Amino acid sequence: MPLGERGGWERTESRYCGVETDFSNDVTHLLNFNISTGGFDYILAPLVDPSYRPSLVEGNGVDTQVLPVSGSDLVLSPSQWSSHVVGKVSSWIDLDSEDEVLRMDSETTLKQEIAWATHLSLQACLLPTPKGKSCANYARCVNQILQGLTTLQLWLRVPLVKSDGDSMDDTSEGLNDSWELWNSFRLLCEHDSKLSVALDVLSTLPSETSLGRWMGESVRAAILSTDAFLTNARGYPCLSKRHQKLIAGFFDHAAQVVISGKPVHNLQKSLDSNTEGTAKNPLRIYLDYVAFLFQKMEALPEQERIELGYRDFLQAPLQPLMDNLEAQTYETFERDSVKYIQYQRAVEKALVDRVPDEKASELTTVCLMVVGAGRGPLVRASLQAAEETDRKLKVYAVEKNPNAVVTLHNLVKMEGWEGIVTIISCDMRFWSAPEQADILVSELLGSFGDNELSPECLDGAQRFLKPDGISIPSSYTSFIQPVTASKLYNDVRAHKDLAHFETAYVVKLHSVAKLAPSQSVFTFTHPNFSTKANNQRYKKLQFNLPSDAGSALVHGFAGYFDSVLYKDVHLGIEPTTATPNMFSWFPIFFPLRKPVEVHPGTPLEVHFWRCCGSSKVWYEWSVSSPTPSPMHNTNGRSYWVGL
């Protein structure tokens, strides 16, 4: 059974727990003991007798050998093989051995075992940890196999080790940083999406920042050693706070847990026969604890549940200037009450500054223009601000989308705003206003701040703002940070063309490791009455990985924005200052054609440009250090925003 349904999670979002077993000729008994009796969801089991060596088998050649498998494919149904068995390739294989016989035996066995796993329709197979620092031949052979696979996933077993100069865990086999091992193997296998990692979680853990790197990698399973468990006051197994946090993180990133090892907690009562008289699985107490950890995780908030389907899903950014938005898009944005509360607060402060309390009784009418009014949420927020502050308001609602204008006219009639709101069906850049505005309100911000052409639109609209007029927003700044995002990289790569690597995507980041704090890129201020106003920008940035993090692979950059609406009222998605409970914007993702490996102490130097042409605006980006990357999106050849 799954680890338990809990409030706020879909059934498909439950997690599963397997158990690592030794080789057995009786797979049926193995399944009954560990699944029917033990309660585990699947077994991680060797498919072939570990004593098997092709070179020791008598016969006329490899083709005539009968593989000593754990059982015929007929002993279980196809659905049982597929749902309840993850294959485990023989752990003795060493394809990079100096011993040629061992090397050849290893290659033959690996290919035979994967072929058998494919025949059984298994969903996944666990590959043993590479034996030495060099794994080129092992990776070459696995890469050959990957080319022929369709559904079978391969999990490379890697111990979760990162030395901080102290003594290393005994099982790390002299490994300094196991991420380096995984990265070498993954690069040699050309980032194949059918290759993932299964981490051996040991009794000691690397630093928090070092562990964080793995959240952006394709971790499919955490193999939890019984030696990693502590003992609570009642004698039952439990995990340290750090181990608990790590396992919760793996659950949140859709990784499964596998219990491995011999029982080290001798609880006689729990090992007694159960009511049916069959022996209880001695590892059941570890499963129960893992299930407890899963069930005590906090339920996802409603908005997070709604957004589950958008996690790590690449979307093209909107082109609101070039295209007219659809009703469904307006509907989504209008549900974000937090955003409009912030706008209302900003308008309230602007109205009070425009008409101080001592002049509020003089019937002064403030002229406010909503440019890009959509279906009217900013008009409503502005009128509510006027009501709250007891100020008199005259509103112009300017909107270029003729379909949204129909909704605006109906809204004005329904709310009785005829004498207050004037609707203008026109592009704000080309409208001739009958008077100048005291306050100019807009919601033209994109995930990267300026990526939906807010600067160009507001530059065109500010001519009908009084010289001392107020713009809401008054400024906005874009931010980027380097990320490991294996899934996003593979999704972009799957298109097999240059254009998708030179496109910025809106995406709800989830399986991502943020490698360094974000830094500001471009800032725009409004109104900008400078005669030398220019919306082209260039910024060089330098990021440094934390010294205890270890090396990491940068697949691209996550982008955010922060905006000052007016004075101390702000709006944004930059992680350290993000407006709580706001969902109108997901971050933006700028991919790299070739991921860049970065080491602590070696800065990552990045360049970003915002380029402007007569009919479009686009971004270009590149990395210059530690290794130069190609220039991305030259002349906006792949991705641009149309004027």
Catalytic residue numbers read 443, 452
What 3-state DSSP class applies to 606? strand
Consecutive H or E run containing 519: strand 519-525
Share in percent of the chain as helix, strand, coil (round to 5): 30, 25, 40
Cα–Cα distance between 336 and 328 in angstroms, integer? 13
Cα–Cα distance between 345 and 470 in angstroms, integer? 14
Contact criterion met (CB below 8 Å) for 156 and 218: no
1 annotated binding-site participant: no
Contact criterion met (CB below 8 Å) for 604 and 542: yes
Tokens 């993850």 found at: 86
185-68-58 Cα angle (round to 5) = 100
CA–chain centroid gap for 273, Å, is 45
Sign for the pseudo-dihedral over CA of 253, 258, 264, 266 = positive
399 annotated binding-site participant: yes
Cα–Cα distance between 310 and 632 in angstroms, integer? 26
Tokens 């009919």 found at: 615
Cα–Cα distance between 455 and 470 in angstroms, integer? 15
Phi then psi dihedrals of residue 237, to 5 deg: -70, 145
Phi then psi dihedrals of residue 593, to 5 deg: -60, -40
What 3-state DSSP class applies to 189? coil
Q: Give the pairing type, strands 641-642 and 537-543.
A: unpaired
579-581-585 Cα angle (round to 5) = 70
Phi then psi dihedrals of residue 112, to 5 deg: -65, -45
Contact criterion met (CB below 8 Å) for 73 and 119: yes
Beta-ladder partners of 457: none
Beta-ladder partners of 159: 200
340 annotated binding-site participant: yes
Closest CA to 626 of 567, 548, 546, 544: 544
What 3-state DSSP class applies to 488? helix
Cα–Cα distance between 86 and 43 in angstroms, integer? 6
Cα–Cα distance between 620 and 638 in angstroms, integer? 10
Could you list the residues known to form a binding site for S-adenosyl-L-methionine, using ranges. 330, 339-340, 399, 427-428
Could you list the residues known to form a binding site, using ranges. 330, 339-340, 399, 427-428
